[in-house]
Amino acid sequence: MNKPYRKTENNGSLRTKLIGLGEKSFQKNYYPELQRKVDELERFRTLLDYSNDAILIVKLPTGNLNDVNQSACYQLGYSREELVQMTFADIMSPSSYAAVASIFNNHNDKQYCKQLLNVSLKRRDGTEIPVEITLCFKQFVNNIYALVVARDITERKQAEEKIRFLAYHDYLTNLPNRLYFTDRLKETIKKAEKDRKDFSVLFLDLDRFKRINDTLGHNAGDELLKAVAQRLLTLVKGKDVLARMGGDEFSIILADKYTKKDLFSFMNQIYNILHDPFIYEGYELSINVSIGVAIYPEDGLSADSLLKNADSAMYMAKEQVGNAYSFYHKSINSKNLKQLSLESSLRFALERQEFSLYYQPIISVEKGIVVGTECLIRWNHPEHGLLNPSAFIPVAEETGLIINMGDWVLKNACMQNILWQGNSIPELHLAVNLSNRQFYNPNLPDRVAEILKVTGMKGHHLSLEITENTAMYNEDFAADMLSRLKQLGVKIYLDDFGTGYSSLSHLKQFSIDGLKIDRTFINDISTNNDSKAIVKAAIALAKNLKLEVIVEGVETKDQLKLLQSYGCDKMQGYLFSKPIPHNEFHLFLQKDIKGLLK
């Protein structure tokens, strides 16, 4: 190590004192002080070299490196001897040096400090190190020096980049997220406005994804989402943007596609690329996708309006059969507003006692008597009048209001049945429908048991009806739930039989007591040979499995006679009675049913 006291710049003032003095006088009067200064400088040098920060002393205005510590040598890849032959500009990134040089050239004070962030030093191999530097200026005799302390912030930069990436990208698929997509959409709108060009926004939703997620687990769902993202990425080119908006929803900006011909072609590419099954642990997973389309500027001038309208169009597409698309049109908004108003009113309908129950008789054709009734809810809406379940049950299902509504229906129907029995009416079998959300509520058996206990109704007088699709949504859960309900003594009917996708093996697996054949097969049974064959086979199947059969939607005498010839006994439909309030049902029980059958 070079001794600092040998440098004229560091020790010049001391050497001046020594001129003309003898050796003895020097040793006696000045050597102890000199030795103390040397020791201090050596300790200072040691401290500098142990610093993790690069420290450089720069002589101004030349910018020559006067001295550096070991960390500077290590970070830059040069020896100290090499560095003191270089200038500060030699080790600075050109883009960074301009700002530092400006400070070097324009400082006025003899001593001050200025911190500068995010500059880069250049290593021997040409790579750059991001550093945070602090500049301190000091005048010695007639020279000004800059003390540069440079802290390596590579890890901080990497962390910031990671945070920035996560802020704008989806952690699962690495696709841009909603925030990034919205920013890019705003930029695309500005450019389109300037260039007077149209472009389109697509909103995609994977159909039946929740079923896969619930059945095979979240890992399967995550792998499926990643695989879908990779396939969709192959279709996105140039200025186009693909993003995962959350859940199973994706959005695409098509910067140069806005004609229906272009969009039809692109959507067909989406359907084709997602057509082949996805393989997960031996399972072949097939999915469909619903697509909503909004076009700038006719469907919206802002990012929010375009996204909202594409989303609304997508929900219109979901109402169709899978792999459907829908272009936005203004009537969608009016429908959504009506739906929103309906939802708001629905939340208070129970409190306002706006619901009522209607009952449709179930007839034993052989005996000519009423053997049961299906309970159906109606909503006496203050503005829209009497609404059928199809108008509000989907909203109740989506919002979760169906749980309390279902409890109300079951409790009041059971109470009404008990009242009928108290009026010397023969025991009637009560049928109540369960929605998908009700059925998959783990507390359902406890709620049914409590209602039976509170109302005093016997379990064997109650049948709960679920659709095929509800039963098949999660087979293991459904089998367990049906077993728990059967322990209460209630009967289970598979409703709308023939319209879902159950199989004979599932009929054996599930603990069901009967089938209700859907009205769609009865409507044209007198003229359609396929409907005849399906209904005849379903009745025969049920009998072989010792299951009861009820046929819905019987409206004509011809249908009645044909069903009788197939061996069907229990029926319901407008031929006998439409759904009616409880007081009218009481009167219906007094009618001559056998006379209606003639």
Query: Which one is the CATH code of 403-576: 3.20.20.450, 3.30.70.270, 3.40.50.880, 1.20.1730.10?
Result: 3.20.20.450
Superfamily covering domain 169-338: Reverse transcriptase/Diguanylate cyclase domain (3.30.70.270)
| Collapsed DSSP state (helix, strand, coil) of residue 474 | coil
CA distance 318 to 314: 6
pTM above 0.75, yes or no: no
Which residue do the tokens 């692109």 mark? 266
Q: Is the dihedral of CA 230, 210, 478, 322 positive or negative?
A: negative
| In the predicted structure, residue 44 carries a pLDDT above the cut 70 | no
**Residue ranges per structural domain of the chain:** 4-156, 169-338, 403-576
Query: What is the CATH class of 4-156?
Result: alpha beta
Concatenating the DSSP letter of every residue in 1-42 gives ---GGGSHHHHHHHHHHHTT--HHHHHHHTHHHHHHHHHHHH
What six digits make up the tokens of 310? 């594409």
Task: Give the tens place of pLDDT for each residue, 227-262.
Answer: 999 999 999 988 899 999 988 999 999 988 778 888
CA distance 337 to 317: 17
**pLDDT the model gives residue 5:** 35
**Higher-pLDDT residue of 147, 492:** 492
Question: Could you tell me which residues come within 8 angstroms of residue 332 by beta carbon, excluding any fewer than 6 positions away?
Answer: 309, 312, 313, 316
Angle at which helices 31-50 and 8-18 pack, to 10 degrees?
A: 170
CA distance 436 to 433: 10
pLDDT band at 11 (very low <50, low <70, confident <90, very high): very low
What six digits make up the tokens of 263? 């969009």
Distances (CA, A) of 357 to 239, 258, 409, 412, 419: 57, 50, 7, 8, 14
CB 544 within 8 A of CB 563: no
Q: Which residues pair with 517 in a beta bridge?
A: 497, 551
Task: Give the tens place of pLDDT for each residue, 353-369.
Answer: 999 999 999 999 888 89
pLDDT band at 551 (very low <50, low <70, confident <90, very high): very high
Which residue do the tokens 């909202």 mark? 308
